[in-house]
Amino acid sequence: MTVCVIGNSHAGSLLKAFNTLPDARQLDWAFYSAADSYRDNAGLNAIAYDAKQGAFVDFPYHRGNHGPNAVIGNHDCFVLVGAHPAPVRMARWLNQEMSDRFRAAAVAEICRYAPLDRFVRLIRQSSPARILLMTRPAPSRDQPVPGADAAITEELIAEYWATRDVELVRQPAVTMTRDGMTRPAFHKPNDNQHYSPEGAMLALQAVRVALDAPRAVRTS
């Protein structure tokens, strides 16, 4: 099976973890990353899509056996990493009393605006490949929101992506506080956004566990 990891700096964290903990199984991993949520300074999509090739092209960084372009048809599974707000952050944005349907619609809308959505859309145009999605890790220094809200939001994110035939890989519970924040030990020092090497290893482990599990049945 070929696994294509596409992401921003968070994919870079996974790659470092991958280098430390190589896959014992015979999976063919390819990593493609671009900083700053795939956007250039003008806020445009820095990663172009070549419809003729069916490929995402011009990644600043790639690693693996498939060349510089992420050709969709070459891969059985995509792991999309980062460029999607963490559940706890979305819960914070939506931290007020509202109806269940409005909260679900708001979560879906935020997910749709995440830069990862473009990759999902383009992959799904030509491929039934499995897609796993990993959001940014939760921050560790934000004002916490009630843990129940973060859990509900994570559930709604998973439900939304399931409707797009995308499986959410959740942040490993061991890296998180009860409020849904990342424990400081699993964040880089002086960085409220990225995993520490230990955190990244646990995140990579979560991806591997998800790959080992049967593909989730599409919910709609």
Partner 1 sequence: MHPYHDIPPKSRWKDAVAARSPFDVSDLWDPKFPIAQGTPVVTFGAGVAQQFARALTARGMAWFDAEPAPRIVSKRLAQQFGYRRFSARTAAIDTPSLLLQWLRWAFAEAAIPGEVWIKGERFIDPFRPQIEPDGFASPETVTRMRDLTLAALRDCVTKSEVFVFALGQTESWFHRDGYEYPICPGTAGGTFDRDRHIFVNQRFSQVHAALGEAITLMRRHNPQIRILLTVSPAPLIATNSGDHILVATTQSKSILRAAAAELSAAQAFVDYFPGYEIVSAPTFRGMFLEPDQQSISPAGVDFIMRCFFDAQERMFGMHR
- Shortest CB 105 distance to partner 1, Å: 6
Please, which residue, 61 or 93, has the CB nearer to partner 1? 93
112 contact partners, CB below 8 Å, separation of at least 6: none
The residue among 52 and 101 lying less far from partner 1, judged by its C-beta, is: 101
Closest approach of partner 1 to the CB of residue 109, in Å: 5
Nearest residue (CB) to partner 1, 110 versus 158: 110
Helix, strand or coil, per DSSP, at residue 40: coil
Instruction: Decide whether 115 or 172 has the Cβ nearer to partner 1.
Output: 115
Per-residue contact track with partner 1, 90 to 119, x per CB under 8 A?
Answer: ---xxxxxxxxxx--xx--xx---------
> From the CB of 61, what's the least distance to partner 1, in Å?
31
Residues in the chain: 220
Residue 220 touching partner 1 (CB under 8 A): no
Closest CA to 72 of 166, 164, 4, 167: 4
Q: Give the per-residue contact string, 137-176, with partner 1 (x = CB under 8 A; - = no).
A: ----------------------------------------
CB of 123 to partner 1, least distance (A): 25
* Number of residues engaging partner 1 in binding (CB under 8 A): 14
Task: Give the DSSP per-residue string, 71-82.
Answer: EGGG-SEEEEES
Taking the complex as a whole, the smallest distance from the CB of residue 98 to partner 1 amounts, in Å, to 8
Pick the closer one to partner 1 by CB: 61 or 102: 102
Detail the DSSP E strand segments found in the chain.
2-7, 28-33, 48-50, 55-57, 61-63, 70-71, 77-81, 130-134, 167-168
- The angle subtended at Cα 88 by Cα 86 and Cα 91, nearest 5°, is 115
100 or 212: CB nearest partner 1: 100
Provide the pairing of β-strand 55-57 with 48-50.
Answer: antiparallel
| Nearest distance in Å: CB 212, partner 1 | 35
Alpha carbons 179 and 187: distance in angstroms, whole number:
16
3 state DSSP class of 187: strand
CA-to-CA dists, residue 173 to 131, 135, 176, 181, 193, angstroms: 21, 14, 5, 10, 17
Site of interaction with partner 1 (CB under 8 A): 93-102, 105-106, 109-110
